[in-house]
Structure 1
Amino acid sequence: MKKLLSLLAALTLGSTGTLSVVGCGPNNMNDNAQMQTYRWTEMQASKTRFTSEKLTPKIDYSNKTAFIENYDIWDSWALLTNDGSVAVIDGYMFWFALSKPLDGSVASKIMFFYSKTGSNWVSGGYALAENLIAGTEEWSGSAMYDEQSATINLFYTVSNYTFGANWNQRIALAKMKLVLSEGKPSFEKPYYHAIIADADGDLYQTHDDAEAEKYDKQKWAFRDPFYFKDPKTNKEYLLFEGNTGKLTGKENERLSEYTGGFKDYSEDYDFERSNHANSAIGIADLDLVQNKVTLLNPLWASNLVSDETERPAMIYNAEFNRYYLFTTTHGYYNMNLAAELNKKDSLHGFTAKNSLFQAMTPINGDGLILYSNAEKDEDDQWNADYSYAWGVLKDNKESNCLLTLAFSNFSSQGNDSELKKLRGAAPTLGLKIDDDKIVLDFELLPAQVVR
């Protein structure tokens, strides 16, 4: 299988959407690029404080049973409308998640679940019966229901193994219709299914360029597409995780705009690793009529600070006239600029006033929304309260509240039964917005998308 997958890396992908690039380097802005990339600097990251009120709550396993026995379920997202609200179709809500059988007999694929309550999900099976490209895996994304055309737009990551430090990754779109048969929802075969975006090299580092660094701790990504429609302009965008390219933050450079003037490095600071860190939140114009994606300069980047910033999400709040950007990161991909920054897995947020492309500031002053202690402690014992991969969505009850979807590493049969090492949904957490501050506020059932 690995030989097959490595061969696939060199194959032409065949049918694709239209990809174009509009962007520039830091000193060559043009009208289309619209903005300078916001930098999460070393100075800003050094101010991160992991205080107790931001620690995710202990998990109540009496309410956390396995979604599917003998299947790991992890990164997840709800089907939303184009305004970011949870979609309801014929009384049903839908939840997507990455899945894989414990025996490894099937590669990672996206499953879908349905419910009339927004919790107590029923499995509908795989969202896509056939892989777009044979031998590839399906990784995280987002889903948007277009009410006018009654179309489900599933944005996701197509990934294949290459025998290198990182899997190759591209962004795909599947357009499909929902059908109801005897009260059971299912998806028709996509009437459009193609790769719509790939790293270009100039704005976003390519897989080949990353591998050419020959760095044993190299981390590279072009994945996790998130649909966002700006309510102030009605323009549609895709956000995604990537790495800065040759013109937007070439790897292995130390610039003052990345350090922010920080100089207080620890004696054991790994400058080589820091120099290779270039994770970014990318953004692209999206045209769903032509299935066209136009890459823009990265919206946000963490050169020298972090080499992985996953699952971006963007939400607009009208009361505060603010755009809120969220991303999750594993501590071991962060530099030790602040106490525990390289040990805690965390959800970070940044906000812009008035416009999506205005300068951002870290939410809560330091950018930290919430965090979880490591998967294992110093004695190599599993942490049953660990959760990760927080996806953020609007709350249906209060405009100034948000919900998070995440996974944890254990499941149970309910009550006081023994825990099983089986990944499934963690409790949904509620966040409260107060202008440029966001705090943990309440807790719901696992994978609960409405209340």
Structure 2
Amino acid sequence: MNERTREFEAKNGPPAWTREHAAAIERTDDTVAPIIYPPEAPVDSDLHIWDTWFLRERDGSIADIDGYRIVFALSSSSELLPGKRHDVATIRYFYSRDGENWKTGGSIFDVDEKGPLGSRQWAGSALYDQGTIYAYYTASGARGEEALTYTQRLAVGHGGTVETDEDGLRIEGPWTHEVLLEPDGEFYETESQSRGMIYTFRDPWFFEDEGTTYLLFEANTPVPEGSDACGGDAAQQEFNGSVGIAESPTGNPTEFELRPPLLDAVCVNQELERPHVVRRDGCYYLFISSHDHTFTPGLDGYDALYGFVADSLRGEYEPLNASGLVLTNPSNAPFQAYSWLAYDHGDELLVTSFFNYFEFDRPSLDEVAVLPEAEQLRRFGGTLAPTVRIRLDGNRTKVVGTLGHGHLPLPDEELPESWWERCEKLPDEGEY
């Protein structure tokens, strides 16, 4: 641990998302997305597609490969029941020239004895550096296991290259796979330490800041039995999510050392999924996705994108909009989208996600399993959701419009006028 981090943690502890913050969560016009309807055509009708991320350069900009941009996504066959897709998830890539029409490029890794670690791969990020792809992912389970396990390690496949020709784009190996990080039991809970509803050590996200190379990830903070955390409430202590961070001492994107968490949610929430950062006007905006059912007893939240802001990467984060809630689904479609990813676009943030369950307003996703199998398949979107436009002003945010399903513009592309801009042009009531 570097000395600056050690001193900060000794004095302050990690910044916290507190119960007081989370108790203020409520839907407002500024934080609710419009209803999503099925697209005319999904990205690929043969696939379920969910968690998605860009291929990026070291500085965080979206990579441009001969006029193409590339996204990666977790995927499975669309014939599989949606609830089973995580058990067989593989990472596929998709490419586009216009950010609206996406072509399927195939699985990024070959599945063989030298292929990806784990029995399946969960979400991560992707770096394009000097012509080489570094594909970060969560290695879940063990290669060749007969029964599913839920061990999670942060892994990388590196050595891939991108080839383009008149027929399109291909990502090719050979790849070298290695485990980068495992929980240490001190900063981050190990699987054997876990007492909670869900164990997490996943979602590596590459980020470079002022010449230092980092990985952010989702984790849990160890809370020993008998601790006075949460007033000694053992049930609340099981909800111990955190945003983890690791630092590369050399800048090598395959060498990292664990550091104390960026954000702690002990007594508040168990899962702070897919953490990522957007820098804007000297501020650092930290975003995570989380579920309604992962909030601790006594707190009510939603499946939503939550955000926090600080004046430095390791600063004292405060929740956006006082509670942390940035974007959620309507009350009559509470599970229509999930796994949000925000990126900077001029005066706005653009937020992509996947189209989850529609025509489903029951209070728990567990009730999907009650539906006939044909209905489970019909009501699962399994493709990219409409992109949501968000106005960001200091520690406040506001939903101001949407784009089409899977429309992911580059930062310099001009957007159509948003509904918020149109409303601003309307005369005041007194002018009529």
Q: Which of 367, 390, 398 is the equivalent residue of 2:340?
A: 390
Amino acid across the alignment from 2:303: D
Contact kept? 1:35, 1:357, Cα under 8 Å: no
Are positions 1:362 and 2:319 aligned together?
Answer: yes
Q: 1:33 to 1:356 in 2, by over 3 A?
A: farther
Amino acid across the alignment from 2:382: R
Are positions 1:347 and 2:309 aligned together?
Answer: no
Contact kept? 2:140, 2:149, Cα under 8 Å: no
Are positions 1:327 and 2:281 aligned together?
Answer: no
SS of 2:237's equivalent in the other structure is helix
Question: For the residues of structure 2 that align with 1:447 and 1:47, how far apart are their CA atoms?
Answer: 31
Q: 1:345 to 1:31 in 2, by over 3 A?
A: closer
Amino acid across the alignment from 1:351: V
1:61-100 equivalences under 5 Å are 61=38, 63=39, 65-100=41-76
Contact kept? 1:114, 1:185, Cα under 8 Å: yes
SS of 1:237's equivalent in the other structure is strand
TM-score by length of 2: 0.80
Question: For the residues of structure 1 that align with 2:131 and 2:7, how far apart are their CA atoms?
Answer: 37
SS of 2:128's equivalent in the other structure is strand
Residue aligning to 2:348: 401
Contact kept? 2:55, 2:125, Cα under 8 Å: yes
Question: For the residues of structure 1 that align with 2:293 and 2:214, how far apart are their CA atoms?
Answer: 30
Q: CA deviation at 1:191?
A: 4.1
Question: For the residues of structure 2 that align with 1:391 and 1:64, how far apart are their CA atoms?
Answer: 23
Q: Which of 204, 207, 212 is the equivalent residue of 1:228?
A: 207
Contact kept? 2:54, 2:125, Cα under 8 Å: yes
Residue aligning to 1:142: 125
Amino acid across the alignment from 2:227: E
Amino acid across the alignment from 1:171: L
Residue aligning to 1:446: 405
**Which structure's residues are more often helix, by fraction?**
2
Q: CA deviation at 1:403?
A: 1.3
Question: For the residues of structure 1 that align with 2:18 and 2:31, how far apart are their CA atoms?
Answer: 22
SS of 2:100's equivalent in the other structure is coil
Q: Which of 157, 169, 179 is the equivalent residue of 1:185?
A: 169
Residue aligning to 1:114: 95
Q: 1:31 to 1:168 in 2, by over 3 A?
A: same
Contact kept? 1:35, 1:358, Cα under 8 Å: no
| 1:22-80 deviation digits (Å, cap 9, x = unpaired) | 389xxx9348999731111112211222224311111143x452222242111111112
| 1:304-329 deviation digits (Å, cap 9, x = unpaired) | 11111101011111x2x100000010
Residue aligning to 1:156: 137
User: Runs of 4 or more off by more than 6 Å in structure 1?
Assistant: 31-35, 161-166
Contact kept? 1:59, 1:384, Cα under 8 Å: no
Contact kept? 1:154, 1:173, Cα under 8 Å: yes
Contact kept? 1:84, 1:393, Cα under 8 Å: no
298-307 or 420-429, which moves further after superposition? Answer: 420-429
Question: For the residues of structure 1 that align with 2:88 and 2:323, how far apart are their CA atoms?
Answer: 38
| 1:368-393 deviation digits (Å, cap 9, x = unpaired) | 1011257xx7xxxxx49711110112
Q: 1:228 to 1:251 in 2, by over 3 A?
A: farther
SS of 2:183's equivalent in the other structure is coil
Residue aligning to 2:389: 430
CA RMSD in angstroms comes to 3.1
SS of 2:321's equivalent in the other structure is helix
Q: CA deviation at 1:193?
A: 2.1
Q: CA deviation at 1:409?
A: 2.6
Amino acid across the alignment from 1:434: D
Amino acid across the alignment from 1:436: N
Amino acid across the alignment from 1:298: P
Q: 1:448 to 1:33 in 2, by over 3 A?
A: farther
Contact kept? 1:254, 1:275, Cα under 8 Å: no
TM-score by length of 1: 0.77
Residue aligning to 1:6: none
Q: CA deviation at 1:405?
A: 1.4
Amino acid across the alignment from 1:346: A
Question: For the residues of structure 2 that align with 1:86 and 1:209, how far apart are their CA atoms?
Answer: 38
Question: For the residues of structure 1 that align with 2:216 and 2:201, how far apart are their CA atoms?
Answer: 10
> Structure 2: where are the runs of 5+ without partners?
360-376, 414-432
Q: 1:252 to 1:164 in 2, by over 3 A?
A: farther
Residue aligning to 1:312: 275
Residue aligning to 2:422: none
Residue aligning to 1:199: 183
Q: CA deviation at 1:401?
A: 1.5
| 1:218-272 deviation digits (Å, cap 9, x = unpaired) | 2111101111111xx2211110000113xxx5466343xx67xxxxxxxxxx954
Q: 1:427 to 1:201 in 2, by over 3 A?
A: same
Q: CA deviation at 1:358?
A: 1.6
Are positions 1:278 and 2:226 aligned together?
Answer: no
Question: For the residues of structure 1 that align with 2:109 and 2:12, how far apart are their CA atoms?
Answer: 36
Q: CA deviation at 1:297?
A: 0.2
Q: 1:85 to 1:384 in 2, by over 3 A?
A: same
Instruction: State the aligned residue count.
Output: 381
Contact kept? 1:79, 1:93, Cα under 8 Å: yes
SS of 1:29's equivalent in the other structure is helix
Q: CA deviation at 1:410?
A: 5.5
Contact kept? 2:336, 2:358, Cα under 8 Å: no
SS of 1:202's equivalent in the other structure is coil
Contact kept? 2:304, 2:325, Cα under 8 Å: yes
Q: CA deviation at 1:352?
A: 0.5
Contact kept? 1:114, 1:121, Cα under 8 Å: yes
Contact kept? 2:246, 2:258, Cα under 8 Å: yes
358-367 or 48-57, which moves further after superposition? Answer: 48-57
